[in-house]
Amino acid sequence: MKIEVGQKAPDFSLFSSDKSKITLSEQKGKNVVLLFFPQAFTGVCTTELCNVRDNIALYNNTNAQVFGISVDSIFTLGKFREDQGLNFPLLSDFNKDASKAYDSLMEDFVFDMKGVSKRSAFIIDKEGIVRYAEILNKVTDLPDFDAIQKTLAGLN
């Protein structure tokens, strides 16, 4: 199902790399940035998430909680987070439920891999409404970080 700005965000519960269960609907009261990405330890994904790491103050200043989401296991995500010094949670969508709910599941990836998350970005406001949605069809493209920051600034 295509995610539209203005709709209620699909809820999900996923485990983070520190083995905590995170439920989207329990994040009410803060803005949430969801960054779906194909796979840990790949070049563009590392660039994307390190950009967020290096600019985390921009997200913190807009009362935004960032979550990176991929179909990698919590163990892989834990090692990736540690190696890159990421300062926000990574969530494992190993069963692909959240990726499907956000129309962010790529059927075919490199080396005949099936079913990884499409690179995409969503902003969910304090009331659980989608305020920004960007799904990229090329794995080498990065989300529009300027548009994300502009949207977040407009929510506060």
- Please state, in angstroms and rounded to a whole number, the distance separating the CA atoms of residues 156 and 143: 21
Strand partners, 108: 114
- Count how many Cα atoms sit within 13 Å of the Cα of residue 128 in the half-sphere of its side chain: 11
- Please state, in angstroms and rounded to a whole number, the distance separating the CA atoms of residues 141 and 46: 12
**Residue 50 a catalytic site member:** no
Q: Could you give the 3-state DSSP secondary structure of residue 136? A: coil
Q: Which of 24, 45, 133, 139 is catalytic?
A: 45
Q: Could you give the 3-state DSSP secondary structure of residue 108? A: strand
In sequence order, which residues have a C-beta less than 8 Å from that of residue 43 and are 6 or more positions away? none
**Nearest alpha carbon to residue 136 among 110, 117, 152:** 117
- Please state, in angstroms and rounded to a whole number, the distance separating the CA atoms of residues 125 and 34: 11
Q: Catalytic site residues?
A: 45
